[in-house]
Amino acid sequence: MMDVNIEKSNIGVLKVKEYLERENYEVKNVSHNKDYKGYDILAIKNRVSIKIEVKCSSRNKGIPDCYSTEFDSDMKFTADYLYIVRLDEDKKPKSIEILSKEDIDKYSLLHKKKKIIKIASKLKTDLKNRAVGEIIEL
């Protein structure tokens, strides 16, 4: 039986990859390569590279927990963007919420430094209230 978290993360990475390819990015899935830490996708367009961490959630709000490897020693987010793929009750992607590194780092003083990083509840609230981030409906 497949681990539900692994299955969800694969769904999320695939959906983000499809979205970025439609936006004319060259996309490399690096999530299983140990040389790339802190992000799942490297997207390239017009010779500019962006690093994207992907999280997948069946909850309609909040931000899934991050791992300490996704932050540097100063608790700054290492990727350029966090893409959160929201699933419906049938595990089908329904939207992608996009947060920039700047969105996340504004709240960095509130992160708890452990193996699993609990994203600041203020950022979760601001995302829910649409004070930060962008939503792409699928």
Tens digit of each residue's pLDDT (9 = 90 or more) over 106-125:
876 555 555 555 666 677 77
pLDDT at 8 (0 to 100): 64
pLDDT at 2 (0 to 100): 44
Contact 1, 118 (CB under 8 A): no
Contact 119, 107 (CB under 8 A): yes
pLDDT at 44 (0 to 100): 96
Tens digit of each residue's pLDDT (9 = 90 or more) over 5-54:
557 668 899 999 999 999 999 998 777 666 667 789 999 999 999 999 99
b/e 116-130 (16+ beta carbons within 10 angstroms → b): ebebbeebeebbeee
Residue ranges of domains in the chain, CATH in brackets:
4-137 (3.40.1350)
- How long a stretch of residues is the chain? 138
Q: What phi and psi, each to the nearest 5 degrees, are found at residue 113?
A: -90, 105
Tens digit of each residue's pLDDT (9 = 90 or more) over 47-104:
999 999 999 888 776 677 777 778 887 778 899 999 999 998 888 899 999 999 998 8
